[in-house]
Amino acid sequence: MPSLRRSLTVYLLLLFAAALTAVGVVADRFTVDALNTQQRKVEQALHAEFDERKEKHREGIETQLLAQAQVFGRDIQVQYYKQSQEAFAEYLLSMNLIAGGYPQKFQGGLWSSLLWDSRWGGWHIGAQIARTHYTNLRLPADFVDQLEREARDDAHPHRGNLYQINSPVFAGPSLSASGYVWRSPGVGDLPLPFALSAYDGAKMPMWDHRFENLTLADGRAVRRVVLKTPLPAPFGNPGGFPPRRSGSPGPGRGRPEPRPAPPPPTPEQVIESAPRVYVQVARQVMPDDTEYAEAIVWRDGELQVSAERTAKRINGVRLALLVAGLVGFVGVGVGVPLLVRRGLRPVATLSDAVSRVSERDFRLPVDKDELSQELLPIHDRLTHSLEALKRAFDREKEAVADISHELRTPVAGLLATIDVALRKPRTADQYKQTLEDCRGITKQLGGLVERVMTLAYLDAGQTAVTDAPTDAADLAADCAAVIRPLAESHGLSFHVDADHPAELTTDADKLREVMINLLHNAVEYNKPGGSITLNVRPDPAGRVVVEVADTGIGMTPEVRGKIFERFYRADPSRTATGVHAGLGLAIVKEYVDRLGGSIQVESEPDRGSTFRVNLPA
């Protein structure tokens, strides 16, 4: 047999385990989502910082490239200026040898005829010769060697940079559509792409620079800067060449007559007319650059540390939830039996009170205040059941007493009749009369025993109901034929009102027994000269109504409430009137209940009674 305490304990533990699991899952999911969200924010911050470092690294590379290009451009300007001065000095020396001396002024003589051409309005032949020397200069071999040594030196800070010079004014071993080209050893046979038309003239001002991303023919990705650098003029003119003058030769020694000089050129015109060189410095975009690689290592390390920290936190939260769940479950496992025992204490109190109920005392010895609200209905039902049981015990005691009384009277009469017959010899007629009296007494005993057995069968549930189509009007006629002689012998009039068929499906024998018992009571408890009416009719609600009315002694309300109890008689003086011992109406009530009907009584003292039976059709 299962224990209520154990069952409640198990159910509460299961419920707590389910609730704890649900709370743990929700808390785990919430915590994991929060930590993952925090992890994503950390990753975004790390990537943003990495991008910032990468941008700074790129800007640093560009700054370095531009600074190197500017230094390189200034070195080229210095070298170029030196070579141009030397070339121009050689040119002047040659002119001096031809003219017979170094001219102190550019006037007269062969020097004037070579440098000044009146037909062209200014410096012409000499300028063209100077320009030829000026634009066919080479970078000094020691300067080029130094650049190449720096390109090969692993310890040099600019190791790995690519240098290229493009200039339309330099002469050298490598000429192209863009002019002279010099490349550092790191460039190799794959020049940096360069189109003079993209940078010449106003498309790119002097000293301006441009950063570009390139992919070389061998697949290398480089970042380069192109710096447009002007070259100094040997005459001190930033434009590079002396401006032409217009006019005809003047008087005296064949010199042209000076003419007013044209307006000076604007700074932009001077700068753009100057010889120029395009300095390119490029650096291969390598992921293993020291600073860039350090940034990658830092980012990956921080991401790994953050991921490990988040995983550690998640594991810690889960471990804490598991430990808290286990501790809580153990605590509940220890506390639940105590709480269940305390909660079931009113049940134990009620159980103890019920155990003290006996056949001598049917009172439930417990106060309602000691019970919980849920047990109050049980207390009330138990109280009512015990009261009903007490009444049943009382009725059983009364029944035993009544049966004993009912049996004692006919048995005493039977013994007295036999004793009287045996006191002296009797005649045959006297013995016959004695036997007739004994037969009547025995018949009374048999009827009483039969009724007691009927109630016993009903209580044991051994009386089956056999339903069949029945006409209640026909049953009423049969019962009237049996009761009518008895009623007339008591001086009573008997009427039957059953003109209409009253069809129903019921047990005909039990319905007949109900009618016979009601009619017998109507005869027994009637007044001399009274009447009995048996009415059978169908009800508009689809039921069949059987009424037995008499003009007898009637009943008080107290009697009406007890007439269906066993061995109860409204008129105790009628104890020896035959087979009636207070069991007839009890049997009627049992039969009507078994047939699914109901019975009501309407009665007033000295005005008769009406028993109404309603049966389903």
Choose among 588, 616, 446: nearest CA to 516.
588
Instruction: Please check the confidence at residue 98 and state whether its pLDDT lies above 60.
Output: no
Give whichever of 19-23, 130-134, 295-299, 376-380 has the largest mean pLDDT.
19-23
Instruction: Please check the confidence at residue 548 and state whether its pLDDT lies above 90.
Output: yes
pLDDT tens string 402-440: 677 667 777 877 888 888 888 888 888 888 888 888 888
- Tell how far CA 575 is from the center of its chain: 81
With a threshold of 0.75, does the pTM exceed it?
Answer: no
Strand 598-604 with 468-471, pairing: unpaired
| Mean pLDDT, rounded, for 501-525 | 87
Return the higher-pLDDT residue of 360 and 130: 360
Residue 291 pLDDT class (50, 70, 90 cuts): low
Domain boundaries, the chain: 6-251+266-291, 464-616
| Mean pLDDT, rounded, for 89-111 | 52
Report the distance separating Cα 570 and Cα 560, nearest Å: 9
| Spatial contact of 196 and 169, defined as CB atoms under 8 Å apart | no
Report the distance separating Cα 172 and Cα 281, nearest Å: 19
- The sign of the CA dihedral 282, 288, 292, 294 is negative
> What kind and span of H or E run contains 162?
strand 162-167
Strand 276-284 with 221-230, pairing: antiparallel
The predicted pLDDT at position 118 comes to 40
Choose among 526, 445, 443, 516: nearest CA to 489.
526
Instruction: Please check the confidence at residue 611 and state whether its pLDDT lies above 90.
Output: yes
| Mean pLDDT, rounded, for 605-612 | 90
Instruction: Please check the confidence at residue 295 and state whether its pLDDT lies above 80.
Output: no
Contacts for 569 with CB less than 8 Å, ≥ 6 apart: 575, 580, 581, 582
- How are the residues of the chain apportioned to helix, strand and coil, as percentages rounded to the nearest 5? 55, 15, 30
**CATH number for the domain running over 464-616:** 3.30.565.10
DSSP-based three-state secondary structure for 264: coil
Query: What angle, 0 to 180 degrees and rounded to 10, lies between the N-to-C axes of helices 125-135 and 4-99?
Result: 140
Alpha helices in 423-507 (DSSP H): 428-460, 472-489
Report DSSP letters for 198-246, one per residue: GTSGGGS-TT-EEEEEEE-TTS-EEEEEEEEEE---TTS-TTSSPPP--
- Please tell me the number of Cα atoms within 13 Å of 220 on its side-chain side: 20
Q: How many residues does the chain have?
A: 617
Report the distance separating Cα 430 and Cα 238, nearest Å: 184
Residue 531 pLDDT class (50, 70, 90 cuts): very high
| Spatial contact of 525 and 569, defined as CB atoms under 8 Å apart | no
Instruction: Please check the confidence at residue 135 and state whether its pLDDT lies above 70.
Output: no
Mean pLDDT score across all residues of the chain: 75
Report the distance separating Cα 286 and Cα 288, nearest Å: 5
Instruction: Please check the confidence at residue 235 and state whether its pLDDT lies above 70.
Output: no
Residue 362 pLDDT class (50, 70, 90 cuts): confident
The predicted pLDDT at position 43 comes to 86
Contacts for 245 with CB less than 8 Å, ≥ 6 apart: 121, 122, 123, 259, 261, 262
Residue 613 pLDDT class (50, 70, 90 cuts): very high
> What kind and span of H or E run contains 117?
strand 116-117
| Percent of the chain predicted with pLDDT > 90 | 6
Cα–Cα distances (Å) from 133 to 104, 137, 146, in that order, read 22, 7, 25
Return the higher-pLDDT residue of 617 and 307: 307
| Spatial contact of 615 and 544, defined as CB atoms under 8 Å apart | yes
Return the higher-pLDDT residue of 223 and 364: 223
